Amino acid sequence: MGTDECVFCAIAQGEAEASLVYEDDTVLAFMDLQPVTPGHLLVVPRGHAIGLEDLDEEVGVKIWQVAHQLGRALRRSSLRCEGVNLFLADGEAAFQEVFHVHLHVFPRFAGDDFRLDAEWRVREREELDTTATAVRKGLSELVGQ
Ligand SMILES: [Zn+2]
């Protein structure tokens, strides 16, 4: 999908409707159309980036900064908010549905409907060390990029 058909680019350019909460030159934040709880926000960069791979690091810092403030704002709002989740889906396998990077910020409370289903079993140290080696190799490939 090019930027021409990107719904978040359209929102950033004021060409599509959104319930805006925050905007500056780099990022904007608006209400998710399908909130998991009332107060569910999306923080998106103004410029098109698909995901972590093509997102500028400085813009990533700005996204986090705004999400941090919004998480704190939710706790001070009149909305039910006993906790906050920040959630970023990078890639289809990670449940990314709109391919313009976005960080979800949403209130949590006892008995809400949000679920993350996984096998949270504690793993053996040897397995964790092997996995850490694989990740370090990935990190070393980023050096100089
Ligand atoms: Zn876009």
Q: By the 8 A CB rule, do 56 and 50 touch?
A: no
Q: Identify whether 55 is part of a domain.
A: yes
Report whether pLDDT(4) > 80: no
Q: Identify whether 139 is part of a domain.
A: no
Report whether pLDDT(87) > 80: yes
- At 99, which CATH number? 3.30.428.10
- What distance in angstroms lies between residue 79's CA and the mean position of ligand 1's atoms? 29
Report whether pLDDT(32) > 70: yes
More confident residue, 91 or 145: 91
Task: Say how many domains are in the chain.
Answer: 1
Q: What residues are neighbours of ligand 1 (ion), with CB under 5 Å?
A: 6, 8-9, 48, 100
Mean pLDDT computed over every residue of the chain: 95
Q: By the 8 A CB rule, do 57 and 50 touch?
A: no
Q: Please give the structure tokens belonging to residue 20.
A: 């805006």
Single out the residue of 25, 87, 92, 100 nearest to residue 55, CA to CA.
Answer: 100
Q: Identify whether 126 is part of a domain.
A: no
Q: By the 8 A CB rule, do 109 and 82 touch?
A: yes
Residue by residue, DSSP assigns 51-103 as SGGGS-HHHHHHHHHHHHHHHHHHHHSSS--SEEEEEE--SGGGT--SSS--E
Mean pLDDT of 119-140: 96
Mean pLDDT of 125-136: 98
Q: Identify whether 10 is part of a domain.
A: yes
Q: What is the pLDDT of residue 19?
A: 98
Strand 83-88: give its sheet, edge to edge: 20-23, 27-31, 41-45, 103-108, 83-88
Q: Identify whether 85 is part of a domain.
A: yes
- What distance in angstroms lies between residue 62's CA and the mean position of ligand 1's atoms? 17
CB atoms within 10 A of CB 21: 17
Catalytic residues: 102
- What distance in angstroms lies between residue 98's CA and the mean position of ligand 1's atoms? 9
What's the pLDDT band for 3 if we cut at 50, 70, 90? low
Q: Identify whether 123 is part of a domain.
A: no
What is the dihedral sign for C-alpha 105, 109, 110, 111? negative
- What distance in angstroms lies between residue 131's CA and the mean position of ligand 1's atoms? 33
Q: What is the pLDDT of residue 120?
A: 92
Domain carrying residue 26? 3-116
**Measured between alpha carbons, how far is 112 from 77 in angstroms, rounded to an integer?**
18
- The pTM score is 0.93
